[in-house]
Amino acid sequence: MNALSFAPLLLAALLGLRSLRITQQGNSVLVERLGTFSRTLKPGINVVVPFLEKEVSRQSLKERVLDVPPQPCITKDNVSISVDAVIYWQLVDHFKSYYAVLNMEAALVNLVLTQLRSEVGLMDLDQTFSARQAINDRLLQELDAATDPWGIKVTRVELRELLPSPGVTAAMEKQMTAERRKRATILDSEGEQEAAINVARGRAEALVLEKEAGSRAVVINAEAQSRAVVIDAEATAQQQKMLAEARGQAATTLADVLQKHPTAAEALRLLLAKDWMTMGEQLAQAKAGSVLMVDPQSPASLLTALKDLQQQS
């Protein structure tokens, strides 16, 4: 056999190899037959008829990231700010994305910019900084609904930077500085006021404590004086009682001695005579010139006379 006999076989082999298409997992391939959409190739080995069918698009089904460039926007209060965002999206219907829009990524960027301007224009400058998450959520809902006919799904939207113009930034810095100074002044005045209140409260409490201590001292002093008077009175009464008891006992003892020993009366007379002589000397020196008339032989009359003399003096 000559080489010409192998030509048809070689041509068939080449056509067979050319008709094989390998689709990787996570990819999607569109095939047209004679200019009309035929089918979407599944992952693995697929056969495409040469000259009749043609692969027209190969796209990944994985989630992608689209970086939206900074875009000037005007807020509700007519402040110009620069906003850029990051869009996370995924191809879910390859057929729609290929046949519904010509340049899908460019269309998505323009749609994001339009929606971003619309959302920022509904808010004041302060709201754009504080409501960033709310803007992200609204953009996600609007973009997801708008891109559904394109066969893609927007999974997440993140505003990356919100940059006001240099003039607005300087004005904001001045405003923040003024607000911080105002807060510092208010805090200082509140601190001084609180300190003055605490000092006045401390003085009032000290005066109250001082008055309470003074009243307690007066009460204690009065109680101590009253107790001292009571103790002195009790001591005086006890002393008088003891003196009276001693005198009574002395008189009782003297009476018993005189009763038991009659001769002791003579000794008593001598003692009384001695006391009488001393009393006489005192009477002689007295200013009033009192005269004492007693019987030295009668001890009873002498005692009575001495008692009367003491009462007169």
Q: What is the reported pTM?
A: 0.50
pLDDT tens-place string over residues 149-208:
898 899 998 888 888 877 766 767 777 788 888 888 888 888 888 888 888 888 888 888
Q: What percent of the chain has pLDDT over 90?
A: 1
pLDDT tens-place string over residues 69-104:
888 888 888 888 888 889 999 989 888 888 888 888
Mean pLDDT for the stretch of residues 128-144: 86
pLDDT tens-place string over residues 59-75:
888 899 988 888 888 88
DSSP string computed for the chain: --HHHHHHHHHHHHHHHHHEEEE-TTEEEEEEETTEEEEEEPSEEEE--TTTEEEEEEEE-SEEEEEEEEEEEE-TTS-EEEEEEEEEEEE--HHHHHHH-SSHHHHHHHHHHHHHHHHHTTS-HHHHHHTHHHHHHHHHHHHHHHSGGGTEEEEEEEEEEEEE-HHHHHHHHHHHHHHHHHHHHHHHHHHHHHHHHHHHHHHHHHHHHHHHHHHHHHHHHHHHHHHHHHHHHHHHHHHHHHHHHHHHHHHHHHHHHHHH-TTHHHHHHHHHHHHHHHHHHHHHH-SS-------TT-HHHHHHHHHHHHHH-
Confidence of residue 243 (pLDDT cuts 50, 70, 90): confident
The more confident residue out of 260 and 187 is: 187
Domain topology for 62-164: Tetrahydropterin Synthase; Chain A (3.30.479)
User: pLDDT value at position 24?
Assistant: 80
